[in-house]
Amino acid sequence: MYMQHTRNFTFNISSPKKFNFDLLDDWLVSALKIEIKDQKGSNIPMESLIKRELLLIRSLMQAILLPYFDTGALLKVKQDKKIPLQWSASVALVYIEHIPDICYEMIINFAIKNIYWMMNTQLTDENREKLYDRIEKEIIHKLKGISGSGKSTIPILTAAYEKKIPFFHLGGGTYQLGYGSKSRLINRSTSDLDSSIGAKLSNDKMMTSNIVRMAGLPAPVNGVANSVKNATIIAKKIEWPIVIKPADADRGEGVTVGVTDDKQLKIAFEKAKLFSRSKRIIIEREVNGVAHRIFIAKDKLIYAVKRLPISIEGDGVKEISELIKEENEAIRNNPPWLRKKIFPDDKEAIEVIKKSNYSLASIPKKKELVPLRIIESTASGGTPQNVTDIIHPDNIDIAIRAAKLFGLEVSGIDIISEDIKKPWHVNGAIINEVNFAPAFGVSEISKSYIPAYLDLILDDDGNIPISVVVGGNMAMDIALQEQSELMQKGISCFVSSHNVTINGLRKGIILPFKSLYKRCRALLMNRQVEAIILVVQTDEFLYSGLPCSNIKKVTNVDAKLISSKNLENKVSQDRVEALIRLINVE
């Protein structure tokens, strides 16, 4: 059974003279981290080879941030009678809406070419890097922007897939989760209920702190400057030490903390300007403590983390330099698109290590964290610690109030606090930032909370009752009877065949196509729809595939179906049976 929609592709492929599946599997597992379940299972080696190509295609699709989770299926493989080494393969690949055919064609061709290469090439470090380089140059660099997805999109959709929540792509990285009245829209971690005004305001740090302060919430003491001279005046007024940061940048870019004199200020100011579009620089009084990300959705706390800078963890045995080397070797053993941030051992890291009274030759205690950067940032990475269960209720309260203030259903509220277990009004904690589209699912901690988030924003995992009635004119009569029964229960049920769609008031809806697939997809996007009955009177689904998943009921009335290609022709019994099998498998 395939939860995701599929589309059929046919391609020609040559048979290798020798099938070296052991070497190929070593490449797929060790170099590309592709899990190989028993893909042999056939007396025809070409079938086993194509099944591995399907696994590689899925991995490449995911590398360009497409939510391609099902493996797909080998439908048919046929040997050319005249040229024995030439084969034709028909496969079902996951169909992501609004992704052009050229994307599929490029990835299919790349997979075929490199499957052969891997079967005939020894797995060495040098050859591994050659493959990575080809994938990055020929696939990722050319196709990654095609999805429009952000780094939170795939973790959220992965969790949705695992929970059997239906979803489809609307374009530009925006996805619909669920169907009809139970549907929601997301783009990265943002939702369709996030205020566009709040999003705009929160993207300006100075405006954010002013609004937070006006609302009676704890805000930083700061000012904004467009020159070093003005910045110096503000710094002396609010007193050292200070933080310098761009007013309109994110991900921790251009931020300098611990500035204590005019010389440091000038350097930090010029650094901040490099990351600012407006060249407006915030001069802010430094607050003791660590930044904590409080993730709020629908006025509830989802999780909270202490955002420590990227740090190496001691084992009580190895020197810091050895620990960094080991961690980085493990990271580099993954494909570049699956790698975490490298642990730095550069000049900046050495200086930060010195502040902990250590050197690269020091041996930290077991479980002890040694910082390698002053602050956490997207550029350098971080070491999050889960504080969801210990954060003080008063701190949760101000985070929820800040999210409401900006009209954001989903937000990341950053609180700087020395101890998040204590209330903000006791230890002088502040709301440092209000983040629209906060990163979600990037760390293992945040990823673990995505199912709870989906449960919060979706009822019934986004599913509505969908049933199918197969047959001729009598099928429509039965569907209308079922619709009446549902309407009596107060359920807004819509009925549709390939050329007629009827709403819950028994009125026809005019739609610009004679296609049950397209009419069903249109109903799935209609939030007035609480249930759907599909009347299947043609063999269209044998060409298009099913338009939805999670069909609850199938009623087979008769075999009086007509051809979707020519409405004057009847469908053979074999095709009717194939259609019934397709629907029942779902």
pLDDT at 27: 97
- Strand, helix or coil for residue 156: helix
The string of pLDDT tens digits covering residues 431-486 is 999 999 999 999 999 999 999 999 999 999 999 999 999 999 999 999 999 999 99
Per the DSSP assignment, residues forming a β-bridge with 87 are: 13, 79
Structure-token pair, residue 449: 């909370």
- Report the C-alpha gap between 286 and 416 in whole angstroms: 10
Percent of the chain with pLDDT over 90: 86
Task: Please enumerate in sequence order all residues whose Cβ is within 8 A of that of 10, keeping only pairs 6 or more positions apart, or say none.
Answer: 88, 89, 90, 91
- Report the C-alpha gap between 94 and 106 in whole angstroms: 15
Could you tell me if 256 and 245 are in contact, meaning their C-beta atoms sit under 8 angstroms apart? Answer: yes
- For tokens 């007629």, the residue is 500
pLDDT at 568: 87
pLDDT of 305 over the 90 cut: yes
pLDDT at 250: 74
Confidence class for position 177, pLDDT limits 50, 70, 90:
very high
pLDDT of 1 over the 60 cut: no
- Report the C-alpha gap between 63 and 149 in whole angstroms: 11
Average pLDDT of the residues in 335-357: 94
Could you tell me if 360 and 321 are in contact, meaning their C-beta atoms sit under 8 angstroms apart? Answer: yes
Confidence class for position 2, pLDDT limits 50, 70, 90:
very low
DSSP result, 320-385? HHHHHHHHHHHHHTS-GGG--PPPP-SHHHHHHHHHTT--TT--PPTT-EEESSSS-BTTTBEEEE
* The CATH number fitting domain 291-457, selected from 3.40.1160.10, 1.10.10.10, 3.30.465.10, 3.30.470.20: 3.30.470.20
**What angle is formed at CA 106 by the lines to CA 77 and CA 34, rounded to 5 degrees?**
70
Task: Please enumerate in sequence order all residues whose Cβ is within 8 A of that of 101, keeping only pairs 6 or more positions apart, or say none.
Answer: none
pLDDT at 144: 85
pLDDT at 3: 74
Confidence class for position 41, pLDDT limits 50, 70, 90:
low
The string of pLDDT tens digits covering residues 58-115 is 999 999 999 999 999 999 999 988 898 899 999 999 999 999 999 999 999 999 999 9
**β-pairing, 290-297 with 242-246?**
unpaired
For the chain, the structural domain boundaries read 6-146, 221-285, 291-457, 464-585
pLDDT of 39 over the 80 cut: no
DSSP result, 48-115? HHHHHHHHHHHHHHHHTT----S--EEEEEEE-SSSTTEEEEEEEEE--TT--HHHHHHHHHHHHHHH
Structure-token pair, residue 258: 């611990």
Task: Please enumerate in sequence order all residues whose Cβ is within 8 A of that of 393, keeping only pairs 6 or more positions apart, or say none.
Answer: 423
Average pLDDT of the residues in 274-296: 94
pTM: 0.92
Task: Please enumerate in sequence order all residues whose Cβ is within 8 A of that of 330, keeping only pairs 6 or more positions apart, or say none.
Answer: none
Q: What mean pLDDT is reported for the chain?
A: 94
CA-CA distances (angstroms) from residue 223 to 245, 285, 414, 435? 11, 9, 19, 20
Could you tell me if 235 and 265 are in contact, meaning their C-beta atoms sit under 8 angstroms apart? Answer: yes
- Amino acid at residue number 578: A
Task: Please enumerate in sequence order all residues whose Cβ is within 8 A of that of 545, keeping only pairs 6 or more positions apart, or say none.
Answer: 5, 6, 7, 8, 92, 95, 517
pLDDT at 10: 93
Average pLDDT of the residues in 530-557: 94
Percent of the chain with pLDDT over 70: 98
Q: Which of 111, 68, 69 is nearest to 89 (CA)?
A: 111
The string of pLDDT tens digits covering residues 371-429 is 999 988 877 889 999 999 999 999 999 999 999 999 999 999 999 999 999 999 999 99
**Sheet (strand 501-502) strand order:** 501-502, 493-496, 531-536, 466-470, 553-556
Confidence class for position 259, pLDDT limits 50, 70, 90:
very high
pLDDT at 42: 63
- Strand, helix or coil for residue 298: coil
Task: Please enumerate in sequence order all residues whose Cβ is within 8 A of that of 448, keeping only pairs 6 or more positions apart, or say none.
Answer: none
Phi, psi of 290 (to 5 degrees): -125, 145
Alpha-carbon torsion, ordered 434, 435, 440, 444, to 10 deg:
-50
pLDDT at 559: 82
Structure-token pair, residue 567: 């409405």
Residue 324 vs residue 41, higher pLDDT: 324
Task: Please enumerate in sequence order all residues whose Cβ is within 8 A of that of 282, keeping only pairs 6 or more positions apart, or say none.
Answer: 205, 206, 222, 223, 224, 243, 244, 245, 246, 247
CATH homologous superfamily, domain 221-285? ATP-grasp fold, A domain (3.30.1490.20)
H-helix segments, 378-449: 393-405, 424-427, 444-447
The string of pLDDT tens digits covering residues 506-543 is 999 999 999 999 999 999 999 999 999 999 999 999 99
**What angle is formed at CA 470 by the lines to CA 468 and CA 475, rounded to 5 degrees?**
100
Length of the chain: 586
pLDDT at 40: 52
SS3 content of the chain, % helix, strand, coil (to 5): 40, 20, 40
For helices 228-238 and 262-274, angle between their N-to-C axes, nearest 10 degrees: 120
Average pLDDT of the residues in 182-208: 95
Structure-token pair, residue 11: 């391609």
Q: Which of 370, 380, 388 is nearest to 446 (CA)?
A: 388
Confidence class for position 248, pLDDT limits 50, 70, 90:
confident
